[in-house]
Structure 1
């Protein structure tokens, strides 16, 4: 697709920043709060309810972002002048979406394996003593660590573009005329 734009459209910008905030919130919540609460603590149910609902929103936003990217006009990929870094940038963006889908999928898998919808939303039964007995929970933990690492790489790349390459990359993914 040829393009005449040098920035992302307002819908993509809004989806990007809303997704970024929700994903960071969920990663921090899951890693530093939810995982520390014992499953016997009544507060765990409320925390899981929020985690599952926000996870569903992130999954929906990610699917919308992927579809919107396919059907809307896109600026060309940002370049650094280094072919390897340019390929890494493209791979990182694809991987961020893929890992976000894998985190959501493994979260859904954990919920299904542990019977969480009935427990968390229906008050039926109780939480298992430990979620680590579920293979999907193990995958969820691995995928979230990888997602943290990719987000760090993404942020480092954006900072490199903005302050080393000085290509005003941030203006491509912010509101307004840039």
Structure 2
């Protein structure tokens, strides 16, 4: 039986953990007041994870193009959707950081407060909607992958 390249498997699980943590952090941060100075620390972690996720997705894409793959078990649209949504998520996050000057506030330590409401930026609104779409896509992925993993663990590949 053909298997995925070990680097793809490792990247898959590393990205799964980072995406889960980043989505949780994002949903948590969205509920916190921008007037709370401690939110900057949370944003620093969230934004750093987002940059790491984007970099790892590029690496994963290159490895996937250059390695042999087993026959397509899941629909191709699912994998392509992950690439599109994660890239869009990182893009809207980066765009929000630029227009809201978050890079200066969060990473350069300018001491400036966060904007009163990030939802005034269309890129931030899109970032939130993409997060919800990503959660739904993860649900579809789990719905397809978990039964297959259960069959494999029982020896009925």
TM range (shorter): over 0.9
Kindly indicate whether residue 98 of structure 2 is the aligned counterpart of residue 112 of structure 1.
yes
Higher RCO (Cα < 8 Å, 6 or more apart): 1
Kindly indicate whether residue 21 of structure 2 is the aligned counterpart of residue 25 of structure 1.
yes
User: For residues 121 and 98 of structure 1, what CA distance do their matches in structure 2 show?
Assistant: 27
User: For residues 139 and 36 of structure 1, what CA distance do their matches in structure 2 show?
Assistant: 16
Which residue number corresponds to residue 16 of structure 1?
Answer: 12
Which residue number corresponds to residue 83 of structure 1?
Answer: none
Which residue number corresponds to residue 145 of structure 1?
Answer: 132
Q: Which runs of 5+ in 2 are unaligned?
A: none
State the TM-score, normalizing by the size of structure 1: 0.82
Instruction: Note the C-alpha offset of 1:17.
Output: 0.1
Greater C-alpha radius of gyration: 1
- Structure 2 counterpart of 1:96, from 49, 72, 82: 82
- Structure 2 counterpart of 1:51, from 46, 54, 58: 46
User: For residues 71 and 61 of structure 2, what CA distance do their matches in structure 1 show?
Assistant: 16
Instruction: Note the C-alpha offset of 1:45.
Output: 0.5
User: For residues 148 and 17 of structure 2, what CA distance do their matches in structure 1 show?
Assistant: 21
Aligned partner of residue 13 in structure 1, secondary structure: helix
User: For residues 149 and 11 of structure 2, what CA distance do their matches in structure 1 show?
Assistant: 21
Instruction: Note the C-alpha offset of 1:160.
Output: 3.1
User: For residues 51 and 42 of structure 2, what CA distance do their matches in structure 1 show?
Assistant: 14
Instruction: Note the C-alpha offset of 1:34.
Output: 0.8
User: For residues 7 and 50 of structure 2, what CA distance do their matches in structure 1 show?
Assistant: 20
Aligned-CA RMSD value: 1.9
Tell me how many residue pairs correspond in the alignment.
155
Q: Is the 8 A contact 2:19 2:53 kept in 1?
A: yes
Question: 1:76-114: CA deviations, max 9, x gaps?
Answer: 111xxxxxxx5xx21111101110010000000110110
Instruction: Note the C-alpha offset of 1:136.
Output: 0.4
User: For residues 69 and 10 of structure 1, what CA distance do their matches in structure 2 show?
Assistant: 11
Kindly indicate whether residue 142 of structure 2 is the aligned counterpart of residue 155 of structure 1.
yes
User: For residues 6 and 148 of structure 2, what CA distance do their matches in structure 1 show?
Assistant: 21
Aligned partner of residue 35 in structure 1, secondary structure: helix
